Structure 1
Amino acid sequence: MKQRTALILGASGLTGQVLLQLLLVDPLYRSVTIYVRKRVRIDHPKLIQLVVDYEKLDTAIEADDVFCCLGTTIKKAGTQAAFRQVDLVYPEKAAALQKAGGSKRFLLISAVGADMDSSIFYSKIKGQVEKAIEALNFSGTYIFRPSLIMGERAERRVGEKIAMSIAKIIGPLLVGPFKKYQPVSALSIAKAMQHAAHHYDEGIHYISSDEIKQFE
């Protein structure tokens, strides 16, 4: 098995942290680079930490596979413009640099309901970032569309905690065409991304929330 190199964008976030732990012990990867605003407290021989400012990012690094876990909320970002930077501009910029630098695969966390023509700002931005990544024509592009992501975040999100409590109750009731709205864990998303990287096919692939849930 030929080993690869990986880059994780958003490794300090909920899903990114879980994915990092998976890839560090994955024999497929000989090195895992992460872009961070400040260094994380992890010491591992395969880990390379690069402190970056996405606004000034202008070079690519060696990475066969790029995993994009970047994402925020409008409340945390403060404005729609700031949200757009994190969820659209930064992923697109990093992806374009990595494509030019020779990366083969790009795996993106989007969201259920992503639609660039949506009247809902959040869904519209998610749809736009999907199309931006698709247009770069990586050898393999995987777009994951989870519903509500379950897990313990470092920061407290009161509204999200309430939503997760409700989701645990109504989740099992979401069947048939509504199954894709069932909440999924950060671990299941990370496992789905890792699996896709191992078993990738060329072209563009969408992974729905109910497909992600199979990895729980």
Structure 2
Amino acid sequence: MTSAATVIGSTGLVGHQILATLLGLEAYEAVYTISRRAPKTEPSTKLNATIEADTTKWASQFAAISPTPKAVYSALGTTRAQAGGIQNQWKIDHDLNIELAKAAHAAGTQTFVFVSSAGTRGLLSNVAAYPKMKNGVEDAIKSLDFKQAIILRPGLLMGEREVAHTGGPLFEALARGVGKHLGQGLQDKFAQDAHVVARAAVNAVKLADEGKAPSKYWVLEQNDIVKLGRDEWKA
């Protein structure tokens, strides 16, 4: 059965991989994106890309998508440095994600997928800004009561970024060194390739469509991501 999906954050590390994965699957006849710049993908007749620099217009542009996408994937996020401060980062990572989730729910989207982050429910979850942002979005999605909500909590994300994060190349090199010299299993406990996270998101939606999700609010931790996105992935 074919369907439509929307990817938010399609120009980012994981969002780009989600988009590429969806475009390569026959199960999706149309894939929509809304972004500030054009996503870098192979040409595809399935892709319907909306380019809009003003993020305050994204929710209304989402509402205009027809037919309503059955699944929405949000890997939307930025860094404090790229945003120009914590307040601006909050507007994107927290406020815009919640606004789009509400727009998706109002439009009738059945499945909403959010790429969050590991470790946000720890001791500093009510103090540090980053976990508060991620947890706020997770809680909002849960409260919206989608037919199916899927939250992914990956660890250190590995892959080629358009804009390198401060210290990112060093941490990735260390993670890959752990995998090479101490074993893939150890690396899997704290770091995942972006394409593995993307495939886990897509695979989870497929399982949910087949009635195999363990609950309507399904949280995938790092071991679940590795399982669905690499060990059990079938294109």
Regarding TM over 0.5, the answer is: yes
1:1-216 equivalences under 5 Å are 2-42=1-41, 43-52=43-52, 53-59=54-60, 60=63, 61=65, 62-115=68-121, 117-170=125-178, 172=182, 181-200=189-208, 201=213, 203-214=216-227, 215-216=229-230
Q: Identity across aligned pairs (percent)? A: 26
Instruction: Output the CA distance in 1 between the equivalents of 2:94 and 2:143.
Output: 14
Amino acid of the structure 2 residue aligned with 1:71:
G
Amino acid of the structure 2 residue aligned with 1:12:
T
Q: Is the 8 A contact 1:15 1:189 kept in 2?
A: yes
How far off is 1:174 after superposition?
Answer: 9.8
How far off is 1:10 after superposition?
Answer: 0.5
Q: Which consecutive unaligned segments of at least 5 residues does structure 2 have?
A: 231-235
RMSD (CA atoms): 2.1
CA distances 1:5-28 after superposition (whole Å, capped 9, x unpaired): 100000011111111111012111
Instruction: Output the CA distance in 2 between the equivalents of 1:88 and 1:180.
Output: 27
How far off is 1:114 after superposition?
Answer: 1.9
Q: Compare 45-54 and 160-169 and name the one that shifted more.
A: 160-169
Q: Compare 142-151 and 181-190 and name the one that shifted more.
A: 181-190
Q: Which consecutive unaligned segments of at least 5 residues does structure 1 have?
A: none
TM-score of the superposed pair, with normalisation by structure 2? 0.83
Instruction: Output the CA distance in 2 between the equivalents of 1:180 and 1:208.
Output: 11
Instruction: Output the CA distance in 2 between the equivalents of 1:98 and 1:158.
Output: 33
CA distances 1:63-104 after superposition (whole Å, capped 9, x unpaired): 110000101111211211111111111111111011101100
Amino acid of the structure 1 residue aligned with 2:174:
I
Q: Is the 8 A contact 1:112 1:180 kept in 2?
A: no
The count of corresponding residues between Structure 1 and Structure 2 is 213
Q: Is the 8 A contact 1:179 1:210 kept in 2?
A: no
Amino acid of the structure 1 residue aligned with 2:97:
P
Secondary structure at the counterpart of residue 7 of structure 1:
strand
Instruction: Output the CA distance in 2 between the equivalents of 1:72 and 1:129.
Output: 14
How far off is 1:125 after superposition?
Answer: 1.0
Instruction: Output the CA distance in 2 between the equivalents of 1:170 and 1:25.
Output: 31
Q: Is the 8 A contact 2:150 2:204 kept in 1?
A: yes
Secondary structure at the counterpart of residue 6 of structure 1:
strand
**Measured at CA, do residues 41 and 184 of structure 1 come closer, stay the same or move farther in structure 2, by a change above 3 Å?**
closer
Amino acid of the structure 2 residue aligned with 1:183:
A
Identify the residue that residue 233 of structure 2 maps to in structure 1: none
Instruction: Output the CA distance in 2 between the equivalents of 1:19 and 1:132.
Output: 22
Q: Is the 8 A contact 2:154 2:191 kept in 1?
A: yes
